[in-house]
Structure 1
Amino acid sequence: MRIGVGSGNPVKRAATERAVAGTDGFGDGAVVEACPVPSGVSEQPFGHDETRTGAANRATAVLDTTAEAYDLGVGIEGGVAEYEGGDGLFLVMWAAVADGDRVGVGTGPSLALPGGIAARVRDGEELGPVMDDVLGESDVAEKQGAAGALTGGRVDRTDALRTAVAGALGPFVTDLY
């Protein structure tokens, strides 16, 4: 089975590899490859709808690439969102898996953003560069991610995204759908 991940980010590819590892029907024979495609949403998705749409757009765009033939396309999108009745802004992550006929979606954990970080994102900055600045590092999004920083390393970005991809795989790994 060939699986294309709609991003060049190695963390998103690794999250997909972890989600499909040992899965009946995929097993160790699954090949997971990066296939960068556009999300069709803003660089910093705001809200669950825009973030989920970006993931679904990536998953289906992978299947539309002419260079490779994939059995499944995976799209993963991180964004920020508010919750009705909640306080503040949250990091959210959505994944979508498509096979050309069906699209499954799943979400990872939601993590509250500290006030200063949330304020900068609300003012139009992207979360990744804000985290780089706050942490004094570069490419945080391709390492521990905001999830790792916000949880003191207890949940890294790969594991958080793996959960979203595993949820999106539901229609492809069980007869319950």
Structure 2
Amino acid sequence: MRVGVGSTNPVKVAATEAALEGRTDATVDSVDVASGVPEQPFGDAETVEGAENRARRALDAGYDLGVGLEGGVAEVGDVDGLYLVMWAAVTDGETIGRGSGLRLRLPDGVARRVRGGEELGPVMDDVLGESNVAKKMGAAGVLTDGIVDRETALAGALAGALGPFVTDRY
């Protein structure tokens, strides 16, 4: 089974490989596609849309399964704060599976800047004095002191989205 990941981000590719570990029939490739949503998706709906767009566009590149992984920020009901959210989508062209991952409250200073229009990745780079945090442990890894990193969080979201493709219970 050929799986196309709608991203060139090595963390998203590694998360897909991790979620499919043990499936010897799966090969995973990176596919450069647009998400069709802003660089900083805001809200679950926009983040899900980005994941679905990536999955469909990866599938259209000639794969058996298309995978889309999208990180965004969202307000969560009546809970205070702005949260990092992660969504995954998987499609074979007929069925679409969706899964959500970690929800992690952002520090107030980071949230203020993101609400002001900045993208989370560059804000985290600036706050930490590093570069490409999003392609390393991500905000999830930094804000949990490594308890969970971005790859693990994305793999968890993808595990949920793979449900309709790995079991007959759907």
Of the three residues 69, 74, 80, the one matched with 2:73 is 80
Within-5 A mapping of 1:12-161: 12-22=12-22, 27-65=23-61, 69-161=62-154
What TM-score does the superposition give when structure 1 sets the normalisation length? 0.95
What residue identity is the alignment partner of 1:63? L
1:30 CA displacement:
1.2
Q: Distance in 2 between matches of 1:140 and 1:129?
A: 8
What residue identity is the alignment partner of 1:43? E
What TM-score does the superposition give when structure 2 sets the normalisation length? 0.99
Structure 2 residue matching 1:95: 3-state secondary structure = strand
What residue identity is the alignment partner of 1:148? G
Q: Distance in 2 between matches of 1:15 and 1:36?
A: 16
* 1:5 aligned residue: 5
Moved over 2 A (4+): none
Q: Distance in 1 between matches of 2:85 and 2:59?
A: 25
| Structure with the largest fraction of strand | 2
Q: Distance in 1 between matches of 2:32 and 2:69?
A: 11
Unpaired stretches in structure 2, ≥5 consecutive residues:
none
Q: Distance in 2 between matches of 1:78 and 1:131?
A: 14
CA-to-aligned-CA distance 1:67-114 (integer Å, 9 cap, x gap): xx2110000000000011110100000000000111100011100000
Q: Distance in 2 between matches of 1:10 and 1:145?
A: 12
Q: Distance in 2 between matches of 1:13 and 1:64?
A: 18
CA RMSD of aligned residues (A): 0.6
Q: Distance in 1 between matches of 2:67 and 2:90?
A: 5
Of the three residues 154, 158, 164, the one matched with 1:171 is 164
Q: Distance in 2 between matches of 1:143 and 1:36?
A: 19
1:29 CA displacement:
3.0
CA-to-aligned-CA distance 1:125-156 (integer Å, 9 cap, x gap): 00000000011100000000000001001100
Q: Distance in 2 between matches of 1:36 and 1:107?
A: 22
1:28 CA displacement:
2.1
Structure 2 residue matching 1:82: 3-state secondary structure = strand
